[in-house]
Amino acid sequence: MSVHALIEEQARRGPHRAAVVSGSTVLHYGRLNSRANQVARLLRKLGVSADEPVGTCLSRSPDAVVSALAIVKAGAAPVLLDPAVPLERTVAQIRSCRVKVLVTSTVNGDVAARLQSAVAELGVRVVRLDADREQIDELPADDLTDVRVTPDSAAHIVHTSGSVSTPKAVVARHETVSECVALAREKFGFSDEDRVAWCSSPGFGVSLVNELWPALASGAAVHIPDAETLLVPQRLQEWILRSRITVVHLVGTLAVPLCELSWPADTPLRLLLTTGERFRLGPDAAPPFAIAVTYGSTETTHITGRTGPRETVGRPLGGAAVHLLDEAGRPVPDGEVGEVHVGGRRLARGYLDDPALTAARFLPDPFSGDPGARMYRTGDLGRFDAEGELVLIGRVDRQVKIRGVTVNLDEVEAVVAAHAGEAAVVTAGDEPRIVAYLADVAGSGVTALHRALAARLPRTHIPAEFVLLDRLPRTVTGKVDRAALPAPRRSSSPAPADTPQEHGDLAALWRELLERDPVGIDDDFFELGGHSLLAARMVMEIQERHGVKVDLTAFYERPTIRALSGLLAAADQPDNVLVRVSGPERPLARLVCFPYAGGGVNAYSTWGELLPPQVELVCAQPPGRGPRLAERPLEWVAELVAGLGPRLAADPHPRTFLFGHSLGAIVAFEVARWLRRNGHPEPAGLLVAGSASPQTPITARVHLLPDDELLAHVGTLGGTDRRLVGDERLRPVLLPALRADFAMHETYRYTPDEPLDCPVTAFAGSHDDDAPVEDVLGWREQTGGTFRLEVLDGGHFFIASERERLLALIGDALAVEAEPVT
C-alpha cells in the first residue's frame, strides 16, 4: 500500500489524534489529510500530472508535511528543496528538474520572496500555503480517488552532491518508500504510541523515508524541535524529556554528544537511530535507550543496521543484498576489501534525465534470480568481519561525510576554482574539515571568496580553511599532486594584536574551538571555519563559564566576538529593564510596551489613565536614556531582546500582551519569538503600531546621517518634542541614543520561523509614509491565529494624535475578564 493511502487510513481511524506538533501548534490527522487533499486538488487544477516533479521549499514545519503529502496525493513527486540552501543552488535544482509548480510559504520571508522572483522567469507557478489559504479552503477536502501510483512511480526527488558543480537528482520509487515504512514497523517498532522527532533537513530524503512517512503511516505523532534546540545537546535532551519523545533520528555528530549526557532511568526515549560513519561512544556512556546504527545512501535508503557498541555498520536489513566486488565485478574472498554493491527492492529509480550515470551506477544484478533485478554501485569500500557484519573502509572516489552530510570534494573544488582560479580541495583532521589550497590569491581576497561560495554552496560544503600558496604542487603529468600539499596551519586572517580586555575570555574560547590564533573581534565565526555544531558548543561553554544563556539564533545574525560580547552584556542588564508604570497588584491583564526609536518609559507613561483599571502597564526601559542614561545604548535588536526576554519570563502573567510602535513593534515581535524559542508561553496577544511587517526589507539609513540631519529628521517625525531636539545642551545626550535606535531598526534582519499562535492586532496610520497600510498588512503572515487591522487617522505618530481612540481599541483587544487571574 502506498504511503499516502496508509496515512489516509490513520486519518480515518483517529482524525483527532495529533499528527504534527510544532511548539504550541498541533495539526491533527484529520486536518492534515483534508488540508493535503485540498492542496493536491489545487496542484491538479494547475496542471500537475502523474510522476511530475513539483518543488516544495519550506522549513521544518506542519506546512512542510502538508506540502509533501499533497504532492504525493496528486500523483506527483516532491522535489525536496531546503530554504537554508543558497538561492542560486535552489534555482539551479528547480531548473534541472524542469519544475513547473513550486509550493512554499511566505513564512520563509525574504527567502520565499526572492525565490518567487527568481523562478518567475522560468515560468514556475508558485503556491503559497498561507497567502493562498482562501483559494485552497474553497476546494473539496475528501480523499482523491482518481490518482494511481505504481511501485515504480516517482515518490520524491532529492539532490545529492555531484562530481561537478551541478548536484545530481535521485528519483526515489514508491516501492522503496513502502519498504522503508514496513522496515520501521518491523525492525524498529514504530507504532501509534510513538512520538517521533523530525530533526533532518527538509532538503534531505532521510526526512521523508526515515522520519515523516514511517511515523505518519504508523499513526505516530511527529514533533519538531526548533533549530537552536536541535544543535545544543543539553537543550535537545531537555526538549526530548519535556515533549516525551520516543524515537529520534540524528547524524552521528549530533547523536554522540546526546548519548553521552546523563539520562534519567525513566526517560521516554526508547530508540535513537543514527548513521554508521564515525559513531563511537565514550566508555562511560550508558544511555537508557536502544541505539540502532544504520548504513545507507540516498540511492538505497537503509542497507545494513546494528545495535550495540561494535565498530561495524551491521548486517543487511529487510531483504537488502550486499555484495563486495572487485574491479572486474567478481566477489572478493571472505575478509578482503571490495566495493559495496547493493541489491533488493529498496533501490531508487535512478538519476533524473541522466541515463548514462544511471547505467553506470545501477547495474544488472547477476546474483539475483529475479528478471530485471538491479544492484547499486555505492562507491564505498568495505569488508565483512568474522561475525558477518559489514565494516566500512573508505571510498573509491572523493566523496566524504561532513557532519553527516555527503560532500563530493570535486564539486566543491569546481566551484572554488570558478571563483579563484587554480585550487585544490581536500579534507584534514580526525573530524573531517574541508581545506582549500589556492594559488596566486591574496589574503585580502579570502573574505570575498568565502562570501561568493556562501552564495553557491550549502554551509557544509564551504571550506573551513583556505591555504594560500605561490603555486600548487604538480605531478610529472601536470596534475595537482594532492599528496604533496603542505599540512594546513590553523591561522586566521589579519586581526588586531591586542584584544580588548572585555573580549579576552571570548577570544580565548574562539581560539580553542576554532584552533586559530589570533582571532579578531570583528572576524566572522563561520568565515574562520566555524559551523553550527561548534556554535552550539560555544554557547554551552559560555553558559557554563559565565552563567549566561546566549540565544544561538541571535548569534547567527552577527557572528562576531564584538556582537557576542554585546549579547552577554544585554543578558546581564539590571532589574530596571522593565518598569511597572501603573495598575493594580493583582491585574486581570498586563500590557508590556516597547518604545519607538528615541523613546523610553515616558512614551507611554500617561497611558494608564485611559486603560481599563484592571490592566497593569509595564514599559521597557532601554539603556542610554532615563534612569539608564549612563549606560551604552544598544544598536542591535537581539541585544535588547536578550535582556528583555528573561526578565519577562521570570515574572509571567497568563494574560500578558505585548505592544510596540515602529521599532518597538519589531522588538515586541522578537520578544514573543524569544519566549516561544526558549520554552515559555507566547503572549496572549501581540499589538503592533506604525510598523511594516518584519519580513518587509528596511531600506532607510537614517543612522548614517550627519548629526544635524539626523536631529532634523527626528524633529519632522513628531515623536520627540521639537524643543528637546533643538536644545544644544541635550545633543550629547540625545544623539547617541537616537543613532543607536535607528541603527537597531535599520540593521534588523528578519529570520523566518513558524508563525506565532497568538492573535496579532496591527494599527496603521492613514497617512503614514514610513509604514503604509499595505506594508502593515504583512503582519497577518506572522500569526496562525486571528489577525485584525485598525486604520487610524494620522501620520507615523498617530499613537499621540489619536491616543484616546488607540487606547480604546487596545482595551478592546485586551478583553479584560470579570475575575482576576491567579
Instruction: Decide: 181 and 187 in contact? Cβ < 8 Å.
Output: no
Calculated CA dihedral for residues 298, 301, 305, 308, nearest 10 degrees: 60
Could you give the CA distance from residue 737 to residue 731 in angstroms, rounded to a whole number?
Answer: 10
| Nearest C-alpha neighbor of 692 from the set 817, 601, 606, 782 | 782
Task: Report the catalytic residues.
Answer: 662, 796
> How many residues appear in the chain?
822
Could you give the CA distance from residue 737 to residue 739 in angstroms, rounded to a whole number?
Answer: 6
Instruction: Decide: 338 and 382 in contact? Cβ < 8 Å.
Output: yes
Q: What is the DSSP letter of 355?
A: H
Could you give the CA distance from residue 241 to residue 94 in angstroms, rounded to a whole number?
Answer: 39
Could you give the CA distance from residue 337 to residue 382 in angstroms, rounded to a whole number?
Answer: 5
Query: Which residue intervals of 561-701 are DSSP H helices?
Result: 561-571, 637-650, 663-677
Residues 6+ apart with CB under 8 A from 172: 77, 154, 155, 156, 157, 158, 205, 209, 298, 301, 348, 349
Could you give the CA distance from residue 56 to residue 103 in angstroms, rounded to a whole number?
Answer: 5
Q: In 3-state terms, what secondary structure has residue 59?
A: coil
* Residue 481 in grid coordinates: 599532486
Residues 6+ apart with CB under 8 A from 333: none
Strands 589-594 and 656-661: parallel
- Burial bucket for residue 185 (CB in 10 Å: 0-12, 13-18, 19+): middle
- Residue indicated by cell numbers 532529492: 158
| b/e code 771-787 from CB counts within 10 Å (16+ = b) | beeebbebbbbbbbeeb
Q: DSSP strand E in 520-612: where?
A: 578-582, 589-594
Other Cβ atoms less than 10 A from the Cβ of 356: the count is 8
Element (H, E) at 268: none
- Residue indicated by cell numbers 545512501: 297
Other Cβ atoms less than 10 A from the Cβ of 211: the count is 24
Torsional sign, CA 463, 467, 471, 474: negative
